Amino acid sequence: MCAVSQPDLKVSACRSRSIRISLLSTAEQKALGEKKPLKSVQLRARHWRMRNAAGAVLDEIRGDGVIGQFPILKAGAFCEQWCLV
């Protein structure tokens, strides 16, 4: 697991965001028809849509890496990031 955190922020109101991402295991990749499963990848960019329980888009984020980091994802392992906004 890799973890990334953001330094303490001095704000009157804030929200936290977290994400858990993974690269499918090599067996799961093969089951989906991948002939040469990946053992690891590096997250270089992101495009996320945050939705509420009804499915409405609340926010959209694009950018490099995650919180200024470029995590390496290994097959079958999870990576978690969180920050305060």
Q: Which helix (H) or strand (E) holds 47?
A: strand 45-51
**Cα end-to-end span (Å), the chain:** 23
Report the C-alpha gap between 5 and 18 in whole angstroms: 10
Domain that holds residue 77: 3-7+15-84
**What pLDDT digit, counting tens, does each position of 50-76 carry?**
888 898 999 888 889 877 889 899 999
Question: What's the domain count of the chain?
Answer: 1
Q: Are 76 and 26 in contact (CB under 8 A)?
A: yes
pLDDT at 41: 93
> pTM to 2 decimals?
0.59
User: Residue 3 — very low, low, confident or very high, per pLDDT cuts 50/70/90?
Assistant: very low
More confident residue, 79 or 6: 79
**What pLDDT digit, counting tens, does each position of 5-56 carry?**
444 445 456 677 777 888 999 999 999 999 999 999 998 998 888 888 898 9
